[in-house]
Amino acid sequence: MQNSVTPTHCPYCALQCGMNLTPTPDGTVEVGERTDFPVNRGALCGKGRTAPAVLSSRVRLTSPLVRSGGTLVPATWDEALDRITEGLRRTRTEYGPDAVGVFGGGGLTNEKAYTLGKFARVVLGTSQIDYNGRFCMSSAAAAGTKAFGLDRGLPFPLEDIPKTGCVILVGSNLAETMPPSLRFFTELKENGGTLIVVDPRRTRTAEQADLHLAPRPGTDLALALGLLHLVVAEGRVDEEYVERRTVGWEDARAAAMAHWPEYVERITGVPVPQLREAVRMFCEPEAAMVLTARGPEQQSKGTDTVGAWINLCLATGRAGRPLSGYGCLTGQGNGQGGREHGQKADQLPGYRKLDDPAARRHVAEVWGVDPDSLPGPGRSAYELLDALGTDVRALLLMGSNPVVSAPRAGHVEERLRSLDLLVVCDVVLSETAAQADVVLPVTQWAEETGTTTSLEGRVLLRRRAITPPDGVRSDLEVLRELADRLGVEKGFPTDPEEVFEELRRASAGGLADYSGITYRRLAEENGVFWPCPADSNDARAADGEPQDGPAADGAVHPGTPRLFLDRFATPDGRARFVAVSHRASAEEPDAEYPVLLTTGRVVAQYQSGAQTRRVEELNAAAPGPFVELHPRLAARLGAAEGDPVAVVSRRGRAVAPARITTAIRPDTVFMPFHWPGEGRANTLTNPALDPTSRMPEFKTCAVRLEAVRS
């Protein structure tokens, strides 16, 4: 079939690096450099380079599996689909529609995420749908929406970074999590700009910084407030900007003034001179940015914390101006688009709210259903997982592996086991799929076409480069088959472009308006930034600066690379300060659990590892879990490099080899979360939720360490 080169994008993270694929005789593809995509200009990390390994039938699923006598055995598609249909029907009849849950993922294309949300509301009639993005950037999304009236991870393209004066990177280890993006920060420094990194560990990213602040995990809120206090005390507030473009300054200012530098030093462990230096570096240049990632966001106060960093930007006039602003580095391949089109518990396509009557009317009309038939908002991801086996009796899961990645994973595993029916669609037999009653093998990135929206808000076309192996079907085909069997014969097309055409209409007039974007444009341009309304006179939502578009043909909206330059997306066009104050984490160290655990990533593994743990080269680079700890803690424990160490929290116990380094604070240990089994970090983590975003506190909990006698 297709023999030529197909330009497309990486299946993994939100950078969505461009790559060229050439089919190989063994039915997979070879990855080649694609230099025309401006984000990575051909560069790829090891995960992207080796992604074709997961296309191989040696590691992937090629037949449906059904549980029979306790084990999963191969079955035909008809047998598997009939079993699901029967189980879903029975659950619905016995317990009502809300007893069926749906769990999606930020790695799913826009077309899949949209169809999954529609399937839940229209076919299943359930309110119980949410997705793993809740574990990812939901706190930044909530704070961004509050402050700016709109949540798009980055309000500017990455290419703006080298031209600003200073970037504060809060809790991002992008040298490992988005390696090709490091180039923008290197160029920033070459241009005379400065980089400040805030991370309890001296990471590969922190090593690049001009100033590294290493706060105690869970104290970023105090840190941001301390910086704002100094901004006020040193007379660095941009009064004219605050007056003209914001509301709520007086209350936010009063709250910040209660956070004296010495008090903040006591909470965070960051010395006052470093706080002062950070303020100087951030305020002196004409433009500056704050970028946050999971460090400050995955906390039970993540929304307030991001709000405090946004306050700092607003008080200094560094938002909605050229080369200045606040941005969140979204994580998953479609982490941005995945949060816009309706797989979230409270949401309808186009970033509309499920409890907004006008939104319900608009979307119901596109779907050809009665607005009153649409269920209301449901539970958030962890709350949904926690309700399995009680209120929610059957679960359809697509694009996540919560047995490894959910907080308090031992409990989540137990909840999954207590279901009457667990259905998992996946490309591999993940740890969660291994617990399912029915597993459906699906097609992957290089075998199917679809769109993703990168961390820049740039909508991209991923293209099919090869024919999938026999035995697998696409997620869209699965949803169509199930809809059919459950009595909804129309409205579930399997052609991605047809789905996108419907998504355009459903999103039209919403905050994330895609109605002016077509597959053709995506193929011809290097992606299109939303909002992009069909009618170019209709770009009021965000009022950004249009990009140098395609042939300026009046009717075509060029898309919006830069948001908020004239006004914010709030009703009055002004940004909102939030009045927030420091508070403790849900679990602080005590005599029994005296150490802080924080968690995160390593460069060679992706997320739950379901895909990357099946790639030899990546396993060679990152073979298993570890506990990173300071020599002082190690000495107290009597542990040498490589010795097994037990980490114990109120949720459970995990064991992994010690990795001893002075790069981490002596009061903190770090574990990556990519592995199941004994070294699973999420056995330990605390599911305390942020009250607004419902984000669990992955980044801090209290533990104790124990030596393990062999």
Nearest partner of 392 among 116, 128, 132, judged by Cα = 128
- Choice from 208, 316, 324, 332 touching ligand MGD (CB under 6 A): 332
Given 8, 164, 203, 324, the residue binding ligand MGD (CB under 6 A) = 203
CB of 454 to ligand MGD, least distance (A): 12
Single out the residue of 308, 374, 396, 398 in contact with ligand MGD (rule: CB under 6 A). Answer: 398
What the block records as the tokens of 155 is 């309000």
Question: 336 contacts which partner out of ligand SF4, ligand MGD, Mo ion, none, CB within 5 to 8 A by kind?
Answer: none
Please state the φ and ψ torsions of residue 620, each to the nearest 5 degrees: -65, -40
Binding mask 39-58 for ligand MGD (x = CB under 6 A): --------------------
Nearby residues of 20 by Cβ (< 8 Å), 6 or more positions away: 5, 6, 7, 8, 31, 32, 33, 34
* Consecutive H or E run containing 421: strand 421-426
Q: Which residues of 263-278 are buried (b: 16+ CB within 10 A; e: fewer)?
A: ebbebbbbeeebbeeb
Contact between 606 and ligand MGD per CB under 6 A: yes
**Judged by CB under 5 A, which of 153, 165, 180, 331 binds Mo ion?**
331
Shortest reach from residue 622's CB to ligand SF4, in Å: 14
What six digits make up the tokens of 242? Answer: 């605050």
702 near 593, Cβ under 8 Å?
Answer: yes
481 binds, among ligand SF4, ligand MGD, Mo ion, none (CB under 5 to 8 A by kind): none
Query: Per rule CB under 6 A, is residue 282 in the interface with ligand MGD?
Result: no
Burial of 590 from C-beta contacts in 10 A (0-12 / 13-18 / 19+): exposed
Q: Given the complex with ligand SF4, which of 180 and 337 has the nearer CB atom?
A: 180
CB-nearer residue toward Mo ion: 91 or 109 = 109
Our finding on whether 510 is near ligand MGD (CB under 6 A) is no
91 versus 608: smaller Cβ distance to ligand SF4: 608
Residues 132 and 412: their CA atoms lie apart, in Å, by 14
Please choose, out of 329-337, 460-468, 504-512, 680-688, the segment that lies near Mo ion by the rule CB under 5 A.
Answer: 329-337
Quick one: 475 or 525, whose CB is closer to ligand MGD? 475
CA distance 511 to 532: 10
Q: At its nearest, how many Å lie between ligand MGD and the CB of residue 206? A: 8
**How far is the CA of 629 from the CAs of 596, 642, 647, in angstroms?**
11, 11, 11
Query: Taking the complex as a whole, how short is the minimal distance between the CB of residue 476 and ligand SF4, in angstroms?
Result: 23
Residues 379, 449: Cα–Cα separation, whole Å: 31
What are the CA-CA distances from residue 638 to residues 239, 537, 591, 629, 668 (Å)? 56, 69, 19, 12, 17
Closest by CA position to 147, among listed 259, 29, 304: 304
Which three-class secondary structure state does DSSP give residue 522? helix
Using CA atoms, how far apart are residues 84 and 422, in angstroms rounded to an integer? 9
Q: Is 80 near ligand MGD (CB under 6 A)?
A: no
- For ligand SF4, the nearest residue by Cβ is 48
Give the gyration radius of the chain's Cα atoms: 24
Binding-site member from 37, 114, 119, 135 for ligand MGD (CB under 6 A): 135
Block residue for tokens 């999103």: 507
Total chain residues near Mo ion (CB under 5 A): 2
Which of ligand MGD, Mo ion, ligand SF4, none does 220 bind, CB closer than 5 to 8 A by kind? ligand MGD
Closer Cβ to Mo ion, 331 or 558, answer by number: 331
Cβ-contact 672, 626 below 8 angstroms = yes
Cα-flanking dihedrals φ and ψ of residue 703, to 5°? -140, 170
- Check: CB of residue 623 under 8 Å from CB of residue 675: no
Q: Which is nearer to ligand SF4, 14 or 142 (CB)?
A: 14
Percentages of the chain per state (helix, strand, coil), in multiples of 5: 35, 20, 45
Tell me, rounded to whole angstroms, the distance of Cα 439 from its chain centroid.
Answer: 25
Out of 295, 317, 349, 527, point to the residue binding ligand MGD (CB under 6 A).
295
Q: List contacts with ligand SF4 (CB under 6 A).
A: 10, 12-13, 15-17, 40, 44-45, 47-48, 178-180
Q: What is the signed CA dihedral for 13, 17, 18, 20, rounded to 10 degrees?
A: -70
What is the contact mask toward Mo ion in residues 130 to 149, using x (rule: CB under 5 A)?
------x-------------
- Is 399 an interacting residue with respect to ligand MGD (CB under 6 A)? yes
**CA distances (Å), 625 to each of 178, 600, 602, 662, 677, in order?**
20, 11, 10, 19, 10
Task: Identify any residues that bridge with 168 across adjacent strands, giving them in sequence order.
Answer: 196, 290
Q: Are strands 129-131 and 100-104 parallel, antiparallel or unpaired?
A: parallel
Site for Mo ion contains 153 (CB under 5 A)? no
CB of 189 vs ligand SF4, minimal distance in Å? 20
Q: Which of 123, 461, 681, 702 binds ligand MGD (CB under 6 A)?
A: 681
> Nearest distance from residue 327's CB to ligand MGD, in Å?
13
Alpha-carbon separation of residue 55 from 30, 400, 688 (angstroms): 11, 18, 37
Evaluate whether 695 touches 138 at the Cβ level (below 8 Å). Answer: yes
Shortest CB 210 distance to ligand MGD, Å:
17
Binding part of the chain for Mo ion, among 65-73, 307-315, 325-333, 363-371 by CB under 5 A, reads: 325-333
Residue closer to ligand SF4 (CB basis): 180 or 625: 180
Q: Does 599 bind ligand MGD (CB under 6 A)?
A: yes
Strand 71-74 versus strand 65-68 pairing type: antiparallel
Q: For residues 108 and 231, which CB has a smaller minimum distance to ligand MGD in the complex?
A: 108
Residue 670 CB, nearest approach to ligand SF4 (Å): 21
Does the footprint of ligand MGD cover residue 300 (CB under 6 A)? no
The Cα 348–Cα 358 span in angstroms is 11
Q: Helices 261-268 and 220-233 sit at what angle, rounded to 10 degrees?
A: 160
Taking CB under 6 A as the rule, which mask of x and - marks residues 452-491 in contact with ligand MGD? -----------------------x----------------
State the binding partner of 179 from ligand MGD, Mo ion, ligand SF4, none, CB within 5 to 8 A by kind. ligand SF4
Q: Which two tokens stand for residue 237?
A: 């507030």
Per-residue binder mask for ligand MGD (CB under 6 A), 83-102, x = binder: --------------------
Choose the contact partner of 180 out of ligand SF4, ligand MGD, Mo ion, none; CB within 5 to 8 A by kind.
ligand SF4
Binding positions for ligand MGD, 619-648, rule CB under 6 A:
none
Q: Which residues bind ligand MGD (CB under 6 A)?
A: 13, 105-108, 132, 135-136, 170-174, 176-178, 198-201, 203, 217-218, 220, 293-296, 298, 331-332, 398-401, 404-405, 425-428, 430, 442, 475, 598-601, 603, 605-608, 610-611, 670, 673, 681-682, 685, 698-700
Q: Which residues bind Mo ion (CB under 5 A)?
A: 136, 331
